[in-house]
Amino acid sequence: MDITLSGDLFERMISHARSVLPQEACGFLIGTGSHASRFQAMANSLASATAYEIDPALLAAAFRSLRETGEELIGIVHSHPSGPAEPSERDRRQAFYPQAAHLIISLADPERPQVRGYRIIDGEAYEIECRIVI
Ligand SMILES: [Zn+2]
């Protein structure tokens, strides 16, 4: 399943990723079906430049609020401050929510941030299309 998001949402994800440099950023794309309507930045509890983790308590709270609003977790977003927009081995091993897409923002070229999306199932990554609509 591909993902559709607005240019505005795209900019928000990029600016969040830039704001936490040199650490990896992470957050959720939330919406319904394949259409993302908002981005929720989450703290990287590892505070690392090469890995991310979302605190389990924050994760549980985020899922609770989604149940209340009836929205869905469409994608888990994280950034690679200096690497390519491709899942690392750790990303593939730690993809605990196969129903959600994984979006990776590469800031390796600061002028041209890149976003690519994947489904990660049983440690295998399959690229999907991320459509940006203006
Ligand atoms: Zn990664």
Residues with CB under 5 A from ligand 1 (ion): 88, 91
Q: In sequence order, which residues have a C-beta less than 8 Å from that of residue 114 and are 6 or more positions away?
A: 84, 85, 105, 106, 108
Q: Which tens digits make up the pLDDT trace of 97-123?
A: 878 999 999 999 989 999 999 999 999
Answer yes or no: are the C-beta atoms of 24 and 16 closer than 8 Å.
no
**Cα distance between the two ends of the chain:** 20
Distance 5 CA to ligand 1 centre (A): 20
User: For the sheet containing 114-121, what is the strand order?
Assistant: 124-128, 114-121, 101-106, 72-80, 26-32, 35-42, 3-6, 130-133
Q: Which residues are 30's β-sheet partners?
A: 38, 73
**What spacing in Å lies between the alpha carbon of 88 and ligand 1's midpoint?**
5
- Ligand 1 centroid to Cα of residue 90, in Å, is 7
Q: What is the pLDDT of residues 22-51, one digit of tens each?
A: 999 999 999 998 899 999 999 999 999 999
